[in-house]
Structure 1
């Protein structure tokens, strides 16, 4: 009996040892898996943090360049921004082992959606211009989009209730756009249509003037039915040097009156010769405050792209004044850079 009892106890002890060994093995495996997950999570967090810091550093580079450009213009009494300047070309650099590409475009050379606001000084003229621009971009695009945008911006417009029948339902903003991507919410604008329109539009304060030194032929031609695409192309060819940083003082309209005196504009800006009425010089400018900065961070295994909208506002005492980011978009892709950067030197 004692031998049988001893064998029974030995078997029980062996089972207990095996159970403990199995339990410890499972715990070790779980700890190893957890450690691997923690390492992977830490790696991703580190990469994201690194990318954010690199993006902010690239923003600072862009702000420094734009600030330097403005201060130089002020010091030299040459306050204009033109497509032939150095900021209009891609700027590559390296930071912490990553390749950084900074691409700047002038937003004041584009059509401002907020000019259709009912609070704008000439919203009806802006409506006609946007309609013409849509035709210039693609004759297949419905010009009803322009009317829909105007209604979207108008408080209490009866057509704004149409959006409540959509799935999911939503309401028209009835306020100014903060970013042109909001256009995708407007009736008749699908993704394909928006991508065609996007390179030519912006969303700035409604009274922001158009920079004639950085605009496109389509935007300029849409300003008046008497201004042909051929005339617009000719006007802009005079200010594109073909190489950034060269001939800046000659390839430029130094003030709006110089633009006004061109043969092409003289015949359309005068109310005596234009049935649509005289142009307002206050609608135009030769310098800009708003810029879009695309930042591409190239790692070994992926690219990260962001867009920062920067406002550069000179102060009243002759210094460079305020410069800062007013909007940041982290959803951009590499293809967006080439698709939207349409004004080059």
Structure 2
């Protein structure tokens, strides 16, 4: 009996020792896993800090590039009264190295395009601008009646224009509902909120239109044939293309030079103040990379006088 009891005691001790060993192994594995997790979290935290630092530095590089563009446009205004395609600032800057990164960008003149806010710049629809917009829309394959929808979006009244117009009633039936802005567009992206404008139609318009905070004339040294045919009544697209070809490798130094390039029958149709050889508005696009982070910005610059252009808006692209 005593011998059997001793055997049980030794077996119990062996089981307890085995359990203790397993417990120790599991504890060691748990501690190792915890240490590995803590090391991973610490590495992740350091990586996040590095990324935040790189992002801040990349933003700083981008802003410095925009400031350089502002100074370039200021100097151009001080020494040059005619804006044209041959100017140095019109040449895109390829990605060039900076400390721990790269930066590049371009300046895009905006007044060679039709300003969509010319339609109702102070809350009242301008019939001359509406007619020009209709010609442009037709030329690029966008339904002409959408000009009325845009006019209703910009004007200050609640009367719907026909055909194609839209005021609060139409927008309140959308999901989700909203109201007509009754003010000028903020940027080209906001055109998507106007009834009837799809992404495909906006893409057709985009090369020929701009959204600027004030009514603006068209710079004839940058305008496409479609824009010229739109803003000059009775000028055909083929005739406008011929005018554009005359500035190849050069530019119009005066509006009289431009007028002389037009067919004689349409010269009297030019609306006073609708054309220019100078530009106030430009978009500066910048790509900046620092470390592992790349940022892309666009800034609308307004040049007025000999000071550095003011930044109308700045946004990520």
TM-score clears 0.5: yes
Match in the other structure for 1:325: 311
Correspondence for 2:258: 259
Q: Closer, same or farther in 2 for the Cα pair 1:44/1:298, shift >3 Å? A: closer
C-alpha distance 302-14 of structure 1, shift in aligned 2 (>3 A): closer
What is the CA distance between 1:94 and its match in structure 2? 2.1
CA offset at residue 127 of structure 1?
Answer: 1.1
Q: How many residues align?
A: 302
CA-CA distance at 1:305 after TM superposition: 3.1
Partner of 1:283: 274
Instruction: Give the 3-state SS of the residue equivalent to 1:147 in structure 2.
Output: helix
> Which structure has the larger Rg over C-alpha atoms?
2
State whether structure 2 residue 45 is matched by structure 1 residue 44.
no
User: Is the contact made by 2:65 and 2:286 (CA closer than 8 Å) also made in structure 1?
Assistant: yes
Match of 1:84 in 2: 86
Tell me, yes or no, if the aligned pair for 1:133 and 1:219 is still in contact at 8 Å.
yes
Q: For 1:181-220, what aligned pairs fall within 5 Å after superposition? A: 181-220=189-228
Q: 1:165 to 1:205 in 2, by over 3 A?
A: same
Q: Does 1:175 align with 2:178?
A: no
Q: Is the 8 A contact 1:290 1:309 kept in 2?
A: yes
What is the distance in 2 between the residues matched to 1:183 and 1:235?
A: 30
How far 1:297 sits from its partner (Å)? 3.4
| DSSP-derived class of the 2:111 partner | helix
- For the Cα contact (< 8 Å) 1:105–1:292, is it kept in 2? yes
Whether contact under 8 Å (2:111, 2:279) holds in the other structure is yes
Aligned to 1:292: 283
Aligned equivalents of 2:291 and 2:56: distance in 1? 16
Q: How does 1:1-345 map to 2 (within 5 A)?
A: 20-73=27-80, 79-92=81-94, 93-117=96-120, 119=122, 123-138=126-141, 141-155=142-156, 156-158=158-160, 159-160=166-167, 161-241=169-249, 251-260=250-259, 262-264=260-262, 266-270=264-268, 278-297=269-288, 304-314=295-305, 320-331=306-317
Does the residue aligned with 1:108 lie in a helix, a strand or coil? coil
Taking the aligned partners of 1:231 and 1:203, their CA distance within structure 2 comes to 26
Relative to the length of structure 1, the TM-score reads 0.77
Taking a change above 3 Å as real, the CA distance of residues 279 and 287 of structure 1, as seen in their structure-2 partners, is same
Distance 1:220 1:308 in 2: 26
Does the CA contact (< 8 Å) of 2:301 and 2:310 recur in 1? yes
CA distance in 2 between counterparts of 1:120 and 1:202 reads 18
Q: Is the 8 A contact 1:118 1:150 kept in 2?
A: no
| 1:162 CA displacement | 0.6
CA distance in 2 between counterparts of 1:225 and 1:254 reads: 23
Q: Which runs of 5+ in 2 are unaligned?
A: 161-165
Shift of residue 151, structure 1, vs aligned partner: 0.8
Aligned equivalents of 1:102 and 1:118: distance in 2? 31
**What is the CA distance between 1:281 and its match in structure 2?**
2.7
CA RMSD of aligned residues (A): 3.0
CA contact (8 A) 1:256 1:281 kept: no
Counterpart residue number, 1:248: none
How many angstroms does 1:123 deviate by?
1.2
* Contact 1:106-1:288 within 8 A present in 2 as well: yes
Q: Which runs of 4+ in 1 moved over 4 A?
A: 4-20, 298-304
Please, which runs of 5 or more residues in structure 1 have no aligned partner?
A: 74-78, 242-250, 271-277, 315-319, 332-345
> What TM-score comes out, normalization by structure 2 length?
0.83
Helix, strand or coil at the partner of 2:288 = strand
In the TM superposition, residue 240 of structure 1 has moved relative to its aligned partner by 3.0
